[in-house]
């Protein structure tokens, strides 16, 4: 397998193998599923007990002290209804992620920021909470360290893995900036597995996925210099990582593996029309991200939730291309090359 090594802060990239041919993709439908608040952002999507659940932040603005987490549910993916609204006094709840736990519950993770108005957060914590039905949720419980953002959690072999990045005033001042790999057996007691996962270039949001052989892949956003996304690869016990520079920026990164073995990623790409939410093919061997389909989007947009169901790719995302930021659901057909 192609590998890239980080030596003394330098990404060393050897020759790559032949690239995978692009899959065929078709946008079957896209629908606005929620716009009843003032501002909506940062979506995620899961299927649980024969229902779809979509989560996102709802507030007065992209940055505001009143951020709440909205949970929608649907039996068919077309008609959606509110299931829950999570709030926390004094906190701007942001960027929720939802997953099903091995013991048959829904798990919600996110960030809780303390802020005045639209000012940067004065402090930040990561939280988890659980539900048996998607409507009734337990209390928010803090995880990871102060001013660390455990951005997304992925369950594999009975354990929850997630990458936390430095957040808060010290990170903005450049005094602490990097990522840490956490693991928990119960989804609560997260302990560092790799204390310094990646440090260069301002790494922030990251998604972890595992293949059938247990190899872990990390799709890592960077906001520094360079601000190109990375793909990390590690085999059990996930303490030694190799990194490839994907050569382009990707915001709100998410990805999954199709039943045929191909990897599909999505997030915010910057193009001639500005930011848009784009579905891409991710070649984990060659370390290449290839745009496949630009979803109807623009302006304030991205943070897709991805779900493979009934032989189709389901994508939740938010966008302001129609004026007001709203939550959308796209369904795509994907076939091998």
Q: pLDDT digit string (tens) for 183-211? A: 999 999 999 999 999 999 999 999 999 99
Whose CA is closest to 152, among 172, 182, 123? 182
> What local confidence, expressed as pLDDT, does residue 6 receive?
40
Full residue range of the structural domain in which residue 303 is found: 18-335
Q: What is the DSSP letter of 121?
A: P
Query: CB 21: neighbour CB atoms within 10 A?
Result: 11
> What local confidence, expressed as pLDDT, does residue 117 receive?
86
Q: What is the DSSP letter of 320?
A: -
* Domain count for the chain: 1
Measured CA to CA, the distance from residue 328 to residue 26 in angstroms comes to 17
7: in domain: no
Q: What global pTM score does this model have?
A: 0.92
9: in domain: no
| 16, pLDDT greater than 80 | no
Question: Given pLDDT bands bounded at 50, 70 and 90, which one contains residue 173?
Answer: low
What average pLDDT is seen over the chain?
Answer: 92
277: in domain: yes
2: in domain: no
Residue-wise pLDDT for 234-280, tens only, equals 999 999 999 999 999 999 999 999 999 999 999 999 989 999 999 99
| 13, pLDDT greater than 70 | no
Measured CA to CA, the distance from residue 77 to residue 82 in angstroms comes to 13
Secondary structure of residue 14 in the 3-state scheme: coil
> What local confidence, expressed as pLDDT, does residue 174 receive?
66
320: in domain: yes
> What local confidence, expressed as pLDDT, does residue 12 receive?
38
| 3, pLDDT greater than 70 | no
> What local confidence, expressed as pLDDT, does residue 20 receive?
82
Q: Which residues contact 29 (CB under 8 A, 6 or more apart)?
A: 330, 331
192: in domain: yes
Measured CA to CA, the distance from residue 69 to residue 97 in angstroms comes to 10
CATH at residue 287: 2.120.10.10
10: in domain: no
Measured CA to CA, the distance from residue 277 to residue 251 in angstroms comes to 9
> What local confidence, expressed as pLDDT, does residue 176 receive?
60
């Amino acid at each position: 397998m192609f590998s890239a090594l980080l030596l003394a802060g330098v990404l060393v990239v050897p020759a790559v193998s032949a690239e995978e041919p692009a899959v065929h993709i078709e946008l079957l439908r896209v629908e606005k599923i929620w716009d009843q608040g003032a501002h909506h952002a940062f979506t995620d999507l899961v299927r649980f007990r024969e229902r779809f659940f979509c989560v996102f932040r709802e507030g007065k603005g992209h940055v505001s002290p009143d951020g709440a987490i909205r949970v929608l549910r649907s039996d068919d993916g077309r008609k959606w209804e509110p299931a829950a609204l999570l709030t926390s006094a004094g906190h701007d709840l942001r960027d929720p992620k939802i997953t099903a736990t091995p013991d048959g519950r829904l798990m919600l993770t996110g960030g809780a920021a303390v802020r005045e108005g639209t000012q940067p957060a004065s402090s930040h914590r990561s939280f988890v909470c659980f539900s048996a039905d998607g409507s009734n949720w337990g209390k928010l419980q803090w995880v990871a360290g102060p001013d660390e953002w455990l951005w997304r959690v992925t369950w594999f072999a009975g354990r929850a893995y997630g990458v936390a990045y430095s957040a808060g005033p010290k990170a903005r001042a450049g005094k602490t900036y990097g990522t840490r790999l956490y693991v928990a057996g119960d989804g609560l007691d997260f302990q560092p597995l790799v204390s310094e996962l990646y440090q260069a270039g301002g790494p922030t949001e990251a998604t972890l996925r595992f293949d059938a052989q247990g190899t872990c892949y990390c799709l890592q956003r960077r906001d520094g210099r360079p601000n190109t996304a990375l793909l990390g690869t590690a085999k059990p016990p996930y303490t030694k990582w190799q990194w490839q520079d994907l050569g382009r920026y990707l915001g709100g990164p998410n990805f999954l593996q199709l039943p045929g073995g191909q990897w599909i990623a999505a997030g915010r790409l910057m193009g001639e029309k500005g930011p848009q939410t784009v579905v891409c093919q991710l070649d984990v061997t060659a370390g290449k991200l290839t745009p496949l389909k630009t979803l109807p989007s623009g302006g304030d947009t991205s943070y897709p939730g991805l779900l493979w169901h009934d032989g189709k790719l389901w994508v939740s995302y938010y966008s302001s291309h129609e004026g007001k930021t709203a939550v959308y659901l796209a369904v795509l057909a994907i076939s091998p090359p």
